[in-house]
């Protein structure tokens, strides 16, 4: 793997002591899965943006951080037998169901629809390489890939998680 030593600005081979993190080495044990039906295909890492407050000071504008907004995370699962009925339906029913309407984010006597969940990065030897914990996450959207005769790919389901903030692990 080619690379540069940024500190000395000299192009060189990557030293053998550096262990890269690969895009395919991660896990996201987000949903309880007694059926073994949850097979995650893709996952967006958390990201944030900062809104700016601008103050006019004479002939100069000063900029300050105003608020932070965390972007929703999308998880794409392979659609497997049991995924919809045993996993996704249960998460959806906690947020909304036809009998009780919208659920409570937090509740004193029962679990609400918000939860904390981990996205873990793994090293090449399956050791922990960091990751994030999404705080106050909840299922905002569940969408299924369209059905078609034009290809024979495995059907997928995308779940969008909204969350309050993320903690680096």
Q: Would you list the DSSP string of 13-50?
A: EPPTT-----TT-EE---S--TTS--EEEEEPPP-EEE
Q: What is the pLDDT of residue 129?
A: 86
What is the average pLDDT value for the chain, to the nearest integer? 84
Beta bridge partners of 26: 121
Average pLDDT, stretch 7-31? 65
- In the predicted structure, residue 1 carries a pLDDT above the cut 60: no
pTM, 2 dp = 0.78
Q: What are the strands, taking DSSP E only, across the chain? A: 2-5, 10-13, 26-27, 39-43, 48-57, 60-70, 73-78, 96-97, 101-102, 115-122, 128-144, 156-162, 165-168
What are 51-107's pLDDT values in tens digits?
999 999 999 999 999 999 999 999 998 888 878 877 788 888 889 999 989 999 987
Domains of the chain in sequence order: 17-168 (2.30.110)
């Amino acid at each position: 793997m080619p690379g540069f030593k940024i500190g000395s600005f000299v192009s060189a081979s990557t030293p053998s002591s550096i262990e890269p993190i690969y895009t395919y080495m991660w896990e996201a044990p987000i949903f309880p899965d007694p059926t073994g039906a949850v097979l995650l295909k893709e996952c967006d890492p958390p990201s944030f943006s900062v809104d700016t407050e601008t103050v006019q000071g004479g002939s100069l504008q000063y900029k300050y951080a105003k608020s932070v907004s965390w972007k929703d995370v999308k998880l794409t699962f392979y659609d497997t037998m049991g995924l919809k009925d045993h996993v996704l339906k249960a998460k959806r029913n906690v947020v909304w169901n036809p009998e009780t309407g919208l659920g409570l984010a937090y509740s004193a006597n029962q679990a609400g629809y918000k939860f904390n969940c981990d996205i873990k990065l793994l090293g090449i030897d399956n050791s922990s390489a960091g990751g994030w914990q999404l705080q106050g996450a909840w299922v905002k959207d569940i969408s299924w890939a369209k059905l078609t005769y034009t290809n024979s790919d495995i059907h997928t389901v995308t779940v969008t998680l909204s969350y309050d903030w993320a903690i680096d692990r």
